Amino acid sequence: MTNDKKIPTLYEWAGGMPVFEKLTDIFYKKVLKDPLLEPVFKHMSPEHQQHVAHFMSEVLGGPKTYSDSEGSHYHMVHKHLGKHLTEQHRKRWVELLLETADELGLPADPEFRSAFVGYLEWGTRIAVINSQEDKLEMDKEQPMPKWGWGETGGPYIP
């Protein structure tokens, strides 16, 4: 007997684009009120939160909205150069995002949260590392990362 059930992506499990757009909208309002994060984000473009929603959605298995019309993985990494983010910035960013996810009722099942938090930990640690650099040594054509339900070795690229 075969199991023909399609396993949903993390994006689908979370609720799709409206959920990610609402998540980042509410989250970045908190960021701009946070004494630690506000100085880092006070000059962000009005579209910043939507770009992050589209990027995150694509990485978690959603549509290619970000890479088709807003940027690339290289572009997103480049945005962090020279920002000199600290571990305190990173931890607070993750804390506020997860707090917002809870408030919005994103799935709380262990499998989803483990994968979601895994992606946030991986992505924010990469952002901190890249933020210490002034020049980007990265292939401009590097594909978008893809994050799933728990593949070992971090993101996978199908």
pLDDT in tens, 14-30: 999 999 999 999 999 99
Mean pLDDT of the chain: 88
Tens digits of per-residue pLDDT, 101-140?
A: 999 999 999 999 999 999 999 999 989 988 888 887 777 7
Q: What is the pLDDT of residue 54?
A: 94
77-46-97-83 Cα dihedral, nearest 10 degrees: 40
Q: E strand or H helix at 74, and its extent?
A: helix 73-78
CB 84 within 8 A of CB 131: yes
Q: E strand or H helix at 31, and its extent?
A: helix 17-31
Distance CA 60, CA 62 (A): 6
Q: What is the pLDDT of residue 140?
A: 76
